[in-house]
Amino acid sequence: MTVDTFQRVVKTLGDSTRLRLLNLLERQELSVADLVKVLDLPQSTVSRHLAHIKDQGLLSERRDGAFCYSRFTPPCEGAWCAAWSLARESLRDDPQIAADAEALDALLRARTLGSREFFDSLGSDWDRLRKVFQDDLQRARAIGRLVPRGLRVADIGTGTGVLAMEMALLGMHVVAVDQSEAMLAAADAKRQDLPDPTFVELRQGTATDLPLEDGEVDAVLAHMVLHYVPSPREAIRELTRIVRPGGRVVLVDFTAPEDRPQPDREWLQKDLGVIWQGFAIARIREWLQEAGLTNVEIELHEARSDDQDLPTTFIASADRPAEQRT
Ligand SMILES: C[S@@+](CC[C@H](N)C(=O)[O-])C[C@H]1O[C@@H](n2cnc3c(N)ncnc32)[C@H](O)[C@@H]1O
């Protein structure tokens, strides 16, 4: 260490306000206004000492709107490291430092309370307000991160591969199948934008005769595909075949009432080319069970569209039983 460095260290730490500042800023990133409140000192005093500390290269700053927050991260080696360790240790029982810590706690508590009061005042209104963020995709992606990476899945009737790419981004290895060459070409173009395109493998084939081995994947998804398949019951059997024992089948599609005439949605045939306008939930349950699947769970989602008369949709999941040990 040079004499000059030593003098600068001693000068900075030789002032009680600077010691108080460093002590607070090591614990919490704070603005000048925060420091004025906690230290109960005039702003000019706080700013002057802060500028001195900053000149020593000891502060990192972060701007947030109109505010600038400072933080002190003690260097991990050199003169400052040793000097600050000594200062910190010596200040441990100082009543002024303890009072500063209490004042900082009070400031942070008031802030927590402020945000709690904000949400308390909103209650369920938050669901309306949060829509400004339009963050449903982000939420789905965040939840998806809870799924262990490396799962091997099949996306049957992948179309342009929107869901296959989502699954790949979550770390799943996807075999994406479609009978249409044009759809597979569109999916292939999307695949090139993935960080690792090898996470999606495209195969041409039909839902009732899939180009996958028995038990090749951990789970299979058919999202809005079944209503295009002439024999959905057979397709469910085929989806079950390609899932390993203990794996899962997930179907998403339109529902249709079984006990009363279905509203005629001819536009589904005309505009979307569907074969079926939807399926009765009892039929879906029956087909899944018939295929040997268990733990059948089906949930319904009311369609939300102001422009189109859409059927309610369902999400069905079921498990292929794990192999019995002999
Ligand atoms: C409405 S799109 C759904 C695409 C995708 N699953 C999604 O949700 O974004 C239906 C897709 O299923 C495919 N498809 C229809 N019948 C099929 C069959 N029998 N076997 C395989 N794919 C089929 C179509 O080519 C089309 O790409």
Domains of the chain, earliest start first? 3-129 (1.10.10.10), 136-319 (3.40.50.150)
Mean residue pLDDT across the chain: 90
Instruction: Report pLDDT digits (tens) over 25-72.
Output: 999 999 999 999 999 999 999 999 999 999 999 999 998 888 899 999
What's the confidence (pLDDT) of residue 69?
93
Higher pLDDT, 158 or 305: 158
Structure tokens at 7: 């003098």
Ligand 1 within 6 A of CB of 183: yes
Instruction: Report pLDDT digits (tens) over 131-151.
Output: 777 678 888 888 888 888 999
Q: Please tell me the distance from the alpha carbon of residue 143 to that of residue 137, in angstroms, as a whole number.
A: 10
Q: Please tell me the distance from the alpha carbon of residue 124 to that of residue 248, in angstroms, as a whole number.
A: 35
Instruction: Report pLDDT digits (tens) over 90-124.
Output: 998 999 999 999 999 999 999 888 888 887 887 77
SS3 per residue for the chain: CCHHHHHHHHHHHCCHHHHHHHHHHHHCCECHHHHHHHHCCCHHHHHHHHHHHHHCCCEEEEEECCEEEEEECCCCCCHHHHHHHHHHHHCCCCHHHHHHHHHHHHHHHHHHHHHHHHHHHHHHHHHHHHHHHCCHHHHHHHHHCCCCCCCEEEEECCCCCHHHHHHHHCCCEEEEEECCHHHHHHHHHHHCCCCCHHHEEEEECECCECCCCCCCEEEEEEECCHHHCCCHHHHHHHHHHHEEEEEEEEEEEEECCCCCCCCCCHHHHHHHCCCCCCECHHHHHHHHHHCCCEEEEEEEECCCCCCCCCCCEEEEEEECCCCCCC
Q: Please tell me the distance from the alpha carbon of residue 16 to that of residue 24, in angstroms, as a whole number.
A: 12
What's the confidence (pLDDT) of residue 262?
67
What's the confidence (pLDDT) of residue 101?
95
Q: What is the pTM of this model?
A: 0.72
- Nearest Cα to Cα of residue 239 among 287, 275, 207: 207
Ligand 1 mean position, distance from CA 104 (Å):
59
Which residue matches tokens 């996807």?
Answer: 174
What's the confidence (pLDDT) of residue 326?
58
Torsion of CA 205, 213, 292, 250, to 10 degrees: -60
What's the confidence (pLDDT) of residue 260?
61
Strand partners, 317: 250, 297
Ligand 1 mean position, distance from CA 255 (Å):
17
Angle made by CA atoms 124, 125, 126, in degrees to the nearest 5: 85
- 126 pLDDT higher than 90: no
261 falls in which pLDDT band (50, 70, 90)?
low
Ligand 1 within 6 A of CB of 176: no
Q: Mutate which of 163, 175, 179 to test ligand 1's pocket (most atoms within 8 Å of Cβ)?
A: 179
- 196 pLDDT higher than 80: yes
What's the confidence (pLDDT) of residue 231?
93
Ligand 1 within 6 A of CB of 151: no
User: What is the percent of the chain where pLDDT is above 90?
Assistant: 66
- Please say whether the beta carbons of 30 and 47 come within 8 A: no
